[in-house]
């Protein structure tokens, strides 16, 4: 069966464009033009993914994210003209999985959708695995072993915990606050310099060229994303 994608946007031309583009890529499309309709459909129709605008006529899309999150773990991709870091961070902190700024390229959006729909390592979803392979890098979560090109990579406990968190949400953006809260606790959510040190340490151990990272990439002003490839 085709995967269902719910598009929540008050602009008819955007919904039409998304309906045609998503349909051409084999997805079934559900549509809503208000936050209330979107939340209702997200709960009642169990879509596989939600594409959500923030500028909705009845309710701010940030609140819609929170409302959907209280009832469902469905992946949410924000599609908005708001390009500020504050909006991006708030959306991701409220539970969005990704954020795409309008105007957007359909190729990029489709890649983000495919990434969001991939099973997560260790998530318990059908098809998920305790082993994640990215090029020469192999993350064996069951054994807590990381290898690169067949050679074991020695990681500290915090380095491993950080890598596992990023890998469990591979291809998704994690904000600085999310990472710091989950790895170091609520008292450290502002310690972004501390996080940067650990990310750099991981890059030195895992990246082919740490100065031009392709595995752990920076989302400027927002956080980090572990890229699994297209």
Non-local (6+) Cβ contacts of 197 within 8 A are: none
Q: What is the mean pLDDT of residues 178-206?
A: 90
Tell me the pLDDT tens digit for each residue of 124-165. 444 445 788 888 889 888 888 999 888 999 999 899 999 999
d(CA 1, CA 156): 44
Q: What is the mean pLDDT of residues 105-112?
A: 89
> Residue 130: its pLDDT value, please?
77
Non-local (6+) Cβ contacts of 193 within 8 A are: none
Q: What is the mean pLDDT of residues 50-59?
A: 95
d(CA 6, CA 18): 10
Question: Measured between alpha carbons, how far is residue 211 from residues 137, 167, 205, 215 in Å?
Answer: 18, 20, 12, 11
Q: Report residue 213's pLDDT band, with 50, 70 and 90 as the boundaries.
A: very high
Non-local (6+) Cβ contacts of 14 within 8 A are: 7, 53, 79
Question: Measured between alpha carbons, how far is residue 66 from residues 85, 104, 178 in Å?
Answer: 18, 24, 15
User: Three-class SS of residue 144?
Assistant: coil
Question: What proportion of the chain, given as a percentage, has pLDDT over 90?
Answer: 58
> Residue 125: its pLDDT value, please?
45
Quote the pTM value.
0.71
């Amino acid at each position: 069966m085709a995967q269902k994608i719910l598009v929540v946007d008050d602009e008819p031309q955007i919904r039409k464009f998304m309906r045609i583009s998503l349909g051409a890529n084999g997805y079934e499309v559900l549509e809503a033009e208000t936050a209330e309709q979107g939340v209702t459909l997200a709960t009642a129709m169990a879509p596989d993914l939600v594409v959500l605008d923030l500028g909705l006529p009845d309710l701010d899309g940030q609140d819609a994210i929170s409302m959907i999150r209280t009832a469902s773990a469905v992946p949410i991709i924000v599609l908005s003209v708001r390009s500020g870091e504050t909006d991006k961070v708030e959306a991701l902190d409220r539970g969005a999985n990704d954020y795409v700024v309008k105007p957007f390229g359909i190729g990029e959006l489709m890649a983000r959708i495919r990434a969001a729909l991939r099973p997560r390592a260790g998530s318990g979803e059908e098809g998920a695995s305790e082993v994640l392979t990215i090029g020469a890098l192999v993350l064996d979560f069951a054994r807590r072993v990381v290898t690169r090109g067949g050679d074991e990579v020695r990681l500290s406990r915090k380095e491993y915990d950080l890598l596992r968190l990023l890998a469990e949400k591979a291809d998704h953006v994690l904000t600085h606050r999310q990472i710091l809260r989950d790895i170091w606790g609520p008292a450290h959510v502002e310690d972004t310099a501390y996080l940067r040190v650990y990310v750099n340490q991981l890059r030195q151990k895992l990246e082919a060229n740490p100065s031009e990272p392709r595995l752990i990439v920076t989302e400027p002003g927002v956080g980090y994303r572990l890229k699994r490839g297209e």
